[in-house]
Amino acid sequence: MTQNITRENLAQFYGSEGQYYHPIFRGINYTDGVKFLNNEGAGWLIDAILSHLAFISQVRRAEFVCIILTVEKMSTGRHQARLTFTDGNDRDLYVQDIEYTDFPLVGELKFFCVDKMLMLATEY
């Protein structure tokens, strides 16, 4: 199902008209681009990001959070990833290593969370 997650499809999201909420993490809203990822099979990623924004104290207290998903293809063909939460000034707030992921994009994908609104970096 993640075959629709391409850099080209994500590039269409800039600004955002929609505002959505997760049934569990109601204090944090998200945009059209994040909803697209959620609907296209990356719900695990959105859940991971929202849970960190809601429950990790140093992340939850920050007014601005930059989230970077870095996916690397291993020699075995599998993908591993790292979720890094920063304050936007290259100061790490929290890092989670992910041993295996089916996320199709290799490299970095950035998100921002500003005033409890999660968005793709292009939507900022």
Let me know if residue 124 belongs to a domain.
no
Over range 22-45, report the average pLDDT: 94
Q: How many separate domains does the chain show?
A: 1
Let me know if residue 72 belongs to a domain.
yes
Inter-residue contact 18 to 57 (CB < 8 Å): no
Inter-residue contact 50 to 65 (CB < 8 Å): no
* Out of 19-23, 71-75, 115-119, least confident range: 19-23
Let me know if residue 42 belongs to a domain.
yes
Inter-residue contact 80 to 97 (CB < 8 Å): yes
Let me know if residue 97 belongs to a domain.
yes
By residue range, what is the domain housing residue 88? Answer: 2-119
pLDDT at 75: 93
Over range 81-93, report the average pLDDT: 96
Over range 34-58, report the average pLDDT: 96
pTM exceeds cut of 0.85: yes
Let me know if residue 31 belongs to a domain.
yes
pLDDT at 49: 98
pLDDT at 9: 96
